[in-house]
Amino acid sequence: MLKTYFDFTDRFIGFQNTPLLWNSDAIDTLVQFNIAPTQRNYNVKSNQKKMRLGKWVESFTAFQLQQIEGIEFIAENLQIITNKQTIGEIDFLLLNNEVPIHLEIAYKFYLYDYTNEYLNPLDYWIGPNRTDSLSLKLKKLIQKQLPLLYKTETKLALKELGFENQNFEQYVNFKAQLFVPLNKKKIDFNLLNKKCIAGFYLHFNNVEILKNNHFYIPNKLDWLVEPKLNVEWLSFNNAKNILRILISKQQSPLCWLKDNDNQLIKCFVTWW
């Protein structure tokens, strides 16, 4: 049976199979909290179906954590409020074998930008539409999301839960899919995990290179899904017409490609 959309089992599997963006070494002060995958099936609740991608990632992470012995939830999506204004939100507060943990979650799609020169190797990784970057996300985690734990308002909220903020250890769970320029060999991954490479990208002006492939253009939620054969594949010409419209709106779509040998791969087609 051909699919035009995927259920949350497919998305959860793709999420679980995505590696951490870095492993052993910390990037700056950011240490990864490795969460073991679960064999249990994720069951979606009816009130979750309209959530955006970031909220699905948080929900998938919570489900994984719930299956781990020794993990207890203190709070999830804890809003920190001052003068009736939300100043931030803490993703997870946990007990890990009685040790208090503050955990922030991230799941990103980054492309290696060879069109510019950067001083920091991490600066090369940018979002598909150039509106975000790895460096900006790391800066936000270090300067805003993790320090939120030490705000006076957070201290008061934690006291109501029976905890002191200075007793928490802080971690991130940062997963990513990385896309490299087609046919570019020399890339400095620095501390990043090469296992995160999920495919390649190319400019729309060069899309004729892919004329011998069939295309599938998943919606944003299905960016998590690993490519499958049983979808409604588009011919190159039909796909190109759709891509042209998206590119005119400065949107860089994710595509699945199927070659003549039924080999599958992901790629982004960019406007920049």
Model confidence at 46, pLDDT cuts 50, 70, 90, reads low
Task: Report yes or no on 18 lying in a domain.
Answer: yes
pLDDT tens sequence across 118-157: 999 999 999 999 999 999 999 999 999 999 999 999 999 9
Residue 55 belongs to some domain of the structure: yes
Ramachandran quadrant class, 98 (left: phi over 0; alpha: psi -120 to 50; beta: rest): left
Mean pLDDT to the nearest integer, 197-208? 98
Q: How confident is the model at residue 57 (pLDDT cuts 50, 70, 90)?
A: very high
The residue ranking higher by pLDDT, 48 or 37, is 37
Quick one: pLDDT at residue 198? 98
Are 172 and 192 members of one domain? yes
Say what the pLDDT of residue 4 is: 60
| Predicted confidence (pLDDT) at residue 3 exceeds the cutoff of 80 | no
Q: Helix axis angle, 53-66 relative to 8-17, nearest 10°? A: 70
Task: Give which of 83, 36, 22, 50 is closest to 220, Cα–Cα.
Answer: 50
| Residue span of the structural domain in which 71 resides | 8-198
For range 73-84, the mean pLDDT: 95
Looking at 198, 218, 236, the residue that finishes a domain is 198
| Domain-located, residue 254 | yes
Within a domain: residue 117? yes
Q: In terms of domains, do 181 and 206 share one? A: no
The answer to whether residue 124 sits within a structural domain is yes
* Same domain, yes or no: 148 and 163: yes
Is 260 part of any domain?
Answer: yes
Tell me, yes or no, whether 68 and 179 share the same domain: yes
- Contact indicator for 204, 269 with CB cutoff of 8 Å: yes
Domain boundary among 198, 227, 257: 198
Dist CA 93 CA 149 (whole Å): 10
The pLDDT value recorded for residue 47 is: 65
The reply to whether 181 and 250 lie within a common domain is: no
Domain check: are 38 and 107 in the same one?
Answer: yes
> What average pLDDT is seen over the chain?
95
- What's the pLDDT band for 161 if we cut at 50, 70, 90? very high
Is 107 in the same domain as 178?
yes
Among residues 198, 217, 237, the one where a domain terminates is 198
Residues 88 and 109 in one domain: yes
- Do 177 and 258 sit in the same domain of this protein? no
Specify whether 172 is located in the same domain as 248. Answer: no
Q: What is the pLDDT of residue 184?
A: 82
Number of folded domains in the chain? 2
Asked if pLDDT for residue 245 goes beyond 90, the answer is yes
If one compares 73 and 3, the residue with the highest pLDDT of the two is 73
Whether residue 81 sits in one domain with residue 212: no
124, 231: one domain: no
- Top pLDDT among 214 and 26 is at 214
1 in any annotated domain: no
* Domain presence at residue 102: yes
